[in-house]
Amino acid sequence: MVRKTSTSSEKSAVIYLRVSTADQVENGCSLDAQEQRLTAYAASAGLDVVAIVREEGVSGTVPLAERPGGSKVAAMVSSGKVRNIVALKLDRLFRSAVDALSVTAEWDRLGVALHLADHGGQSLNTGSAMGRMVLTLFAGFAQFERDLTSERTKAALLHKRSNGLAYSPTPFGLDRDGDDLFGNQDEQDAIEQMRTWRAEGASLREIARRLNEAGVPTKQGRAWHASTVKYIIEHAA
């Protein structure tokens, strides 16, 4: 959904909000919570919000331009209607570090700045040289971690292959591209929520019930059970 609020200018900005699962709502990342925080950020930064794009139930693994709301943001950028994009965190917009660097490089070429209200606890603005450097470093470290995960996975798969062992299914929290495994942000959020609920005293059966009610699927698209929740909490990376 897109809500327009004012006219375009050098300070024109679009606020982009996204949630994928109901557990994010319970973590304080609901669309309304994001909107309140980002509207306050935009005001403090002197930005004129011309539109607010709300994206609900869309996975972060989908490229921004292919999401219903994300495509509207892309259209606003390409048409010159906005010069600033405001989001809560990098993972609200991009599926990977490579994706983030590629898209923001194009935005920079067009004179469009990315504002993140919560980038490791601090705000970030790629409209400055310092902001662009910080984003590049952060994205580089994120890609480094992904590459390490991929290398470890390849080593494990090679060991299984050499010992005649069967390949295991792609673990919850990760996605597979050939022999490469990389993080699935939505599933990682769900794992974090499971562990939080468990630490708060929720039973495994109760956690499974909450996940099912929230519409969070397992890797196989099935219903959650206490045994599955237990395995994920204890073994997920």
The predicted pLDDT at position 25 comes to 42
What is the domain extent for residue 83?
Answer: 2-127
Q: Name the band, by pLDDT with cuts 50, 70 and 90, for residue 224.
A: very high
Q: Name the band, by pLDDT with cuts 50, 70 and 90, for residue 161.
A: low
12-19 β-sheet, strand order = 2-4, 48-56, 12-19, 84-87, 113-119, 122-125
Tell me the mean pLDDT in the region 177-192.
Answer: 79
Please indicate, yes or no, whether residues 44 and 71 belong to a single structural domain of this protein. yes
Looking at 74, 96, 127, which one is the last position of a domain?
127
Please indicate, yes or no, whether residues 51 and 147 belong to a single structural domain of this protein. no
Write the CATH number for 31: 3.40.50.1390
Tell me the mean pLDDT in the region 57-82.
Answer: 88
Q: Name the band, by pLDDT with cuts 50, 70 and 90, for residue 168.
A: low
Judge whether residue 85 has pLDDT over 50. yes
Please indicate, yes or no, whether residues 117 and 156 belong to a single structural domain of this protein. no
The chain-wide mean pLDDT, for the chain, equals 82
**133 lies in a domain?**
no
Please indicate, yes or no, whether residues 64 and 91 belong to a single structural domain of this protein. yes
Please indicate, yes or no, whether residues 28 and 68 belong to a single structural domain of this protein. yes
Please indicate, yes or no, whether residues 162 and 75 belong to a single structural domain of this protein. no
For the chain, helix (H) and strand (E) counts, in that order, are: 9, 8
Q: Select the more confidently predicted residue: 224 or 185.
A: 224
Q: Name the band, by pLDDT with cuts 50, 70 and 90, for residue 180.
A: low
Please indicate, yes or no, whether residues 170 and 119 belong to a single structural domain of this protein. no
Q: Name the band, by pLDDT with cuts 50, 70 and 90, for residue 143.
A: low
pLDDT digits (tens, 9 = 90+) for 193-210: 888 888 878 889 989 998
Please indicate, yes or no, whether residues 62 and 174 belong to a single structural domain of this protein. no
Tell me the mean pLDDT in the region 36-64.
Answer: 89
Please indicate, yes or no, whether residues 69 and 107 belong to a single structural domain of this protein. yes
* Total domain count, the chain: 2
Q: Select the more confidently predicted residue: 147 or 112.
A: 112
Tell me the mean pLDDT in the region 21-49.
Answer: 78
pTM higher than 0.75:
no
The predicted pLDDT at position 122 comes to 81
Please indicate, yes or no, whether residues 111 and 144 belong to a single structural domain of this protein. no
Contact 74, 2 (CB under 8 A): no
| Nearest-angstrom CA–CA distance, 192 and 232 | 10
| Nearest-angstrom CA–CA distance, 198 and 11 | 45
Q: Name the band, by pLDDT with cuts 50, 70 and 90, for residue 57.
A: confident
Judge whether residue 177 has pLDDT over 70. yes
Please indicate, yes or no, whether residues 78 and 146 belong to a single structural domain of this protein. no
Tell me the mean pLDDT in the region 102-118.
Answer: 92
| Nearest-angstrom CA–CA distance, 237 and 24 | 19
